[in-house]
Structure 1
Amino acid sequence: MRTLPRLALLALLTVYLVWGSTYLAIHFALFSFPPFLLMGSRFLVAGALLFVVLKLRGTSSPTGRQWRDAGIVGTLLLGGGMGFTAVAQQTVSSGLTAVFIASAPLMFALWSGLFGEWPGRRDWVGIVLGFCGAMLLASGGEMAASPIGVMALSVAVCSWTFGSVLSQKKLAMAPGAMGFASEMLLGGALLTIAGLLQGERITLPIELQAWWAWTYLVTAGSLGAFSAYMYLLSRVSPALASSYAYVNPVIAVALGVALAGETVGPREMVAMAIILGSVILLTTSRTATKPTDKPAQQRDDLTPQLKPRRAT
C-alpha cells in the first residue's frame, strides 16, 4: 500500500467500502424507485449538484469536445453498464450477477491489452485469483437466468469496462471533477429518459427507507464513489482500478451479517480469504501505479480549480 499515492489509496478504499454498501441501499431504494429511474435520477442529481458547486467556485465549463467525450463515457458506463444491469437483474439471480460482475477485471485487462497495456504476471495472478474467489463466494446462491438476462449482463460488463478504458486512453473529458460532473449529467439523463420511455414511474408516496437509500446513493454512491473510481482510472493500473469487483461482494456479505442477521459459513470464509490474497497481489504489483498516456487535460487532481495545473 505504501506504493500508492495517499489520494489514490483513499479513492480505492472509498470505492471498496461505499460501492460494497450500495447493494443494500439499492435493495431499499427499489421499494419506491423503478430500476432505470433509480439509476438515472441518482446520477443526474449528483452530476447537477457537482456541476453547480464547481461553477460557483469559478471552474470553466467543458468545451464542446469535452461534452462529447463525457457523453460517450457516460453512455457506456452509466447507460450501457448500469442500464443493462438493471434489465438483467429482472431475470438473473444475484449469485450469477455477482459472477458476471467479477469478470469485469478480466474484460478490463483484455480491453487494455488491445490498447497496448497488458497486465504484468503478478496482475494476472491477482485477477484470476480474485475471479475464483468471487465465484466461490457466489456459488452458494441461486444461479438462475434467462438467455435475455445473460445477454444483457454480458453487454453491461463489456460496456462498463470498454468505457472505463476509453476514458483512460482515448477520450479527453474536462479536467478533474468537472469531467465527472458532465459525465454523470449526461449518463444520468440518458438513463432517466430510457426509464420514462419504458413507462417507469416512481411510486408515491416515497417510503422513508427508499428516500434515505436514494439519498445515500446520490451522495456516497455517485458523488463520492463514482468520482473516486474515475480518479482511479487516471492514477492506477487497470487491474487495481477494477479490483472493486472482487471486494464489493465481500463488503456486501459483511453488511448482511452485521445488519440483516445473515450467517457466513466455511465456504464464504475461504472465498473471502482468496479475494483478500488477490487484492494484496494487485496492490503490491509494480504496475499498481503508472504514468498515464491519456490527454494532458485529464491528469488534474479532483479539485483542479484550487491549484495550478501540473506541467506535463
Structure 2
Amino acid sequence: MAVSRKTISIVLAFFAIYVIWGSTYLLNKIAVTELPPFMLGSMRFITASILIFIIAKILKFDLSITRRQLINAIIAGFLFLAFGNGVVVWALRYVDSGFAALEISAQPLVVLLLMRILQGKKISTMSYIGVALGFLGIFLLVSQKQIINKDGQILGMIMIFICMISWAYASIFVGNANLPKNFFVNTGYQMLSGGVILAIASVCFGEEWTSPTTWSTPVLWSMLMLVIFGSIIAFTAFNYLLKEVSPEKVSTSTYVNPVIALFLGWFILDENLTTQSIVAAAILLTGVYFINSKRKFKPRSLGR
C-alpha cells in the first residue's frame, strides 16, 4: 500500500520539530553567551524571513497578503517568536539549556488547560492523570536547591513558564486564524514580524549590536544553524502541522526535545545533570504521554 505524499510530509514535519528543535536549546545557549538575547533573536528571524521570501520568489509563490492576514501574522510573530522565543533565549543566560527544555516539556499541559478554558474542551481521565504528573514533575524539577540557589535562576524559570503560556495560546490561535495558505510564506511573515518586534525591544533595552565579523566561530555556526534549521525548516514544519493536525499532537514534540537538549547540554556544555532532574524528566514525559493518549481509561469500581 503506497504512502500518500501528505503522510510523508507530516512525518518529515514531525521529525523537524522533534529533532531540530531539540538542538536549538544548545545553539541558543552558545550564542547568548556572547550576544544580547533580543539582538540575537532579531537577527536570526529577520535573516530567516529574508531568505524565505527570496526562496518563495524563486519558486514563484504568491507573496500577497490581506490586511487581516498581516495582523494575524504579527500577532503570531509576537506570541511565538518575539515573546515566546525571545524571552526564553534571555532566560538561557541564567538557566541551563537542558533544564529549560525540561520545563518547556510541560507545554502540552498548558495547551490542554487553555483549550479547556478558551474552547470548553473536555479533559479525559487520562489527561487529568497527565496534568497531575506534569505538576509533580515541574515541582521536582524546580525544587532542587542547587538550582534555586543560582543567581537569576528563579526569575528565569518564571519567565520560561510565562513564555509557555504565550506559545500555547499562539498554537491555538494559529490553528484557527486567517493566515497565508502557503506555509512557507506564512512562516516568512511571522519571522519578519517577530524579528522587527525583537529589534525594537533590543533598542528599548539598550542592547549593544555587534557585527558578525566580531563573533567567535562557535557563535557564527550556531546562528547559521538557528537560521536555516531552527527557523526556516523547523518553524515552517511547525506551521504546517498546526493546520494539518491538532495542537495537542503538535505539542508532542516535547517528548523528544528535552531528551536531545539534556544530552547535548551535558555532552557539549558540561551542564549538570542531577538524578532528581532525570526523575523529573521521566515523570514529566509520562504526563505528556497521558495527556496525548487516545486510549480510554475506565477506573474500576466496586461491584464490577
Query: Does the 8 Å contact 1:247/1:275 carry over to 2?
Result: no
Structural RMSD (CA): 3.3
Partner of 2:31: 29
1:92: how far off?
A: 6.2
Partner of 1:77: 80
Instruction: Please give the alpha-carbon distance, in whole angstroms, between the structure 1 residues aligned to 2:273 and 2:56.
Output: 44
Question: Is 2:41 the counterpart of 1:39?
Answer: yes
Structure 2: gaps (5+ residues): 297-304
Partner of 1:198: 205
Distance 1:10 1:285, change over 3 A: farther
Distance 1:15 1:269, change over 3 A: same
Partner of 1:122: 126
Q: Deviating runs (4+, > 6 A) in structure 1?
A: 92-96
1:221: how far off?
A: 0.9
Partner of 2:17: 15
Amino acid at match of 1:9: V
Amino acid at match of 1:181: G
Structure (1 or 2) with the larger CA radius of gyration: 2
Partner of 1:188: 195
Where do 1:90-239 residues align within 5 Å?
97=100, 100-113=103-116, 114-130=118-134, 132-133=136-137, 136=140, 142-143=147-148, 144=150, 145=152, 152-169=159-176, 171-175=177-181, 176-204=183-211, 205-239=214-248
1:240-271 residue CA offsets vs partner (Å, 9 max, x unmatched): 32233453222112123443456756545544
Instruction: Please give the alpha-carbon distance, in whole angstroms, between the structure 2 residues aligned to 1:159 and 1:193.
Output: 19
Query: Does the 8 Å contact 2:105/2:258 carry over to 1?
Result: no
Instruction: Please give the alpha-carbon distance, in whole angstroms, between the structure 2 residues aligned to 1:282 and 1:68.
Output: 32
Instruction: Please give the alpha-carbon distance, in whole angstroms, between the structure 2 residues aligned to 1:29 and 1:101.
Output: 20
Distance 1:107 1:163, change over 3 A: same
Instruction: Please give the alpha-carbon distance, in whole angstroms, between the structure 2 residues aligned to 1:269 and 1:146.
Output: 19
How many residues align? The count is 284
Which has a greater percent of helix?
2
Aligned with 2:147: secondary structure? coil
1:39: how far off?
A: 1.1
Query: Does the 8 Å contact 1:134/1:246 carry over to 2?
Result: no
1:237: how far off?
A: 2.8
1:30: how far off?
A: 2.0
Amino acid at match of 1:162: Y
1:83: how far off?
A: 3.2
Instruction: Please give the alpha-carbon distance, in whole angstroms, between the structure 1 residues aligned to 2:291 and 2:245.
Output: 10
Instruction: Please give the alpha-carbon distance, in whole angstroms, between the structure 1 residues aligned to 2:274 and 2:34.
Output: 33
- The share of aligned pairs that are identical, in percent, is 33
Query: Does the 8 Å contact 1:30/1:38 carry over to 2?
Result: yes
Q: TM-score, normalised by structure 1?
A: 0.76
Amino acid at match of 2:173: L
More displaced 10-residue stretch of structure 1: 49-58 or 272-281: 272-281
Q: TM-score, normalised by structure 2?
A: 0.78
Query: Does the 8 Å contact 2:29/2:93 carry over to 1?
Result: no
